Amino acid sequence: MSRFRQPSRVRKVIDIPQELAASQQEYNGEAGRAFIAGLPDLTAAFLDRWDLTVGGRPMHGVSALVLPVTRRDGTRAVLKLQLLDEESEGEPVALRLWDGDGAVRLLDHDEATGTMLLERLDSSRMLAHQPDIHESVLVIARLLAHLTSFTAPAGLRRLGDIAQDMLEQTPGALERIPDPEARRVVADCAAAVREVVDEPGDRLLHWDLHDENVLASARAPWLAIDPKPLAGDPGFELWPALANRFDADDIRWRFDAMTDVLGLDRARARAWTYGRLLQNSLWDIEDGRPLDEEQLEIARRLRPPRG
């Protein structure tokens, strides 16, 4: 989950923000360094290819550079340049299917590099600026209810495959969790996923719809951006809104509100939400990081009532 930040300097075409270069090196190693090295030429090539004029200061997240541009006909847009991987390669597929209905509109796409031309939304009006967290959660829930009404197209990553892989990794990962209570929480999450893994769902999922990935526009109050799409159960979508602006006492309200709006079976939604904690925990363990206490608390708070 990342907030777009302004780089410190901008040259004639582009100056690579140091934070973007650092994150690419951290997460993608040599491939990330190669992407950063080629980014100025890549940017210049697509400004020329799509006849674009730079129309503002560039922005960036953890993995992508986003450059405000204007097309020859005056249309305001953004040029998004990112390293092509298994997450980003599905983004244009999902955006084409949604076709601007609940999400940013895709204007052009280069399959070889993953570069996209997108409609320009109002980055100054982000859902994260909404002071009422309950309203923010409901906005996300309503967007998810619409976006996940689409059947996922063939070729996307599939939740069933991801879940099976997580379950295979779990026994070894549990041995690396020193705290018995944390180990028990993660083991319980894995057990919940085992109960639903044979029915992973076929909906088109955004996967990362938190309040910094929802922007306002002139044509719609709120639109989703930056999907990392996969095919699966909508219950796998709830985690970001539970974890964003963390409040332990509000977790149950958020979960109940979102499952109501999406019309989800709560037991299944709980199991797939536990799947997100399992996924995050496996990544933390692999990278040698301690488990996140706030994330563990989400799992504790979602435990069904006894009896």
**Tens-digit pLDDT profile for residues 63-108:** 889 999 999 999 999 999 998 888 889 999 999 999 999 999 999 9
Tokens of 90: 């599905």
Where does the pLDDT of residue 307 fall: very low under 50, low under 70, confident under 90, or very high at 90 and above? low
Do 179 and 265 meet the contact criterion of CB atoms below 8 Å apart? no
Q: Which residues pair with 54 in a beta bridge?
A: 69
249 is catalytic: no
The partner residues of 103 in beta bridges, in order of sequence, read 224
| Cβ neighbours around 157 below 10 Å, total | 19
User: What pLDDT is stored for residue 22 in this prediction?
Assistant: 85
- Among 110, 208, 284, 292, which one carries the catalytic annotation? 208
Q: Where are the beta strands (DSSP E) in the chain?
A: 52-54, 59-60, 64-71, 76-82, 106-109, 116-119, 122-126, 203-205, 214-216, 223-224, 230-232
Supply 59's token pair.
Answer: 């922005």
Side-chain-side CA neighbours of 207 within 13 Å: the count stands at 22
pLDDT at 231: 98
Q: Which two tokens stand for residue 223?
A: 């639109």
